[in-house]
């Protein structure tokens, strides 16, 4: 009983660390850690470069409230229309 309790405790202790490492494995990332967009940039403005390994595809979630502002052209995340924070 003590061995299985010790094993269960060890697994439960290590599980968050194992899950965090596997979730952080690279496959698709942005060139900047926190890309941002200044207002009044023109359509076609490059927000960031998307880096992806073979077999990974980046898409924009169409249900996102900001999806209409962005497009992906090749490896570039670009503005589709100018952002105006006073209007939004």
The 10s digit of each residue's pLDDT in 39-50 is 888 999 999 898
> What is the C-alpha separation between 59 and 14, in angstroms, rounded?
33
User: Could you give phi then psi for residue 55, rounded to 5 degrees?
Assistant: 95, -10
Position 6 in a domain:
no
Is position 59 within any domain? Answer: yes
User: What is the predicted pLDDT for the residue at 28?
Assistant: 81
Q: Return the residue matching tokens 């850690």.
A: 33
pLDDT of residue 20: 40
Confidence grade of residue 13 (pLDDT, cut at 50, 70, 90)? very low
Q: Is residue 13 part of a domain?
A: no
Q: With a cut of 50, say whether residue 15 has pLDDT above it.
A: no
Where would I find the beta strands (DSSP E) of 4-82?
Answer: 28-30, 46-52, 70-73, 76-79
Structure tokens at 3: 């061995």
Per-residue pLDDT for 31 more than 50? yes
77 C-beta neighbours (distance < 10 Å), count? 20
Q: Is residue 51's pLDDT more than 80?
A: yes
74 part of a folded domain: yes
Within a domain: 4 = no
Q: Establish if 58 belongs to a structural domain.
A: yes
Whether residue 7 lies inside any domain: the answer is: no
**Inter-CA distances, 87 with 35, 39, 82, Å:** 21, 11, 11
In this prediction, residue 24 carries a pLDDT of 45
Range of the domain at 40: 26-79
In the chain, the number of structural domains is 1
Top-confidence residue, 15 or 72: 72
């Amino acid at each position: 009983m003590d061995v299985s309790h010790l094993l269960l405790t060890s697994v439960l202790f290590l599980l968050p660390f194992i899950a965090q490492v596997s979730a952080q494995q690279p496959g698709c990332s942005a060139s900047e850690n926190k890309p941002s967009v200044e207002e009044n940039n023109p359509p076609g403005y490059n927000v960031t470069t998307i880096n992806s390994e073979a077999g990974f595809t980046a898409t924009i979630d169409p249900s996102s409230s900001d999806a209409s502002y962005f497009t992906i052209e090749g490896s570039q995340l670009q503005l589709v229309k100018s952002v105006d924070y006073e209007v939004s």
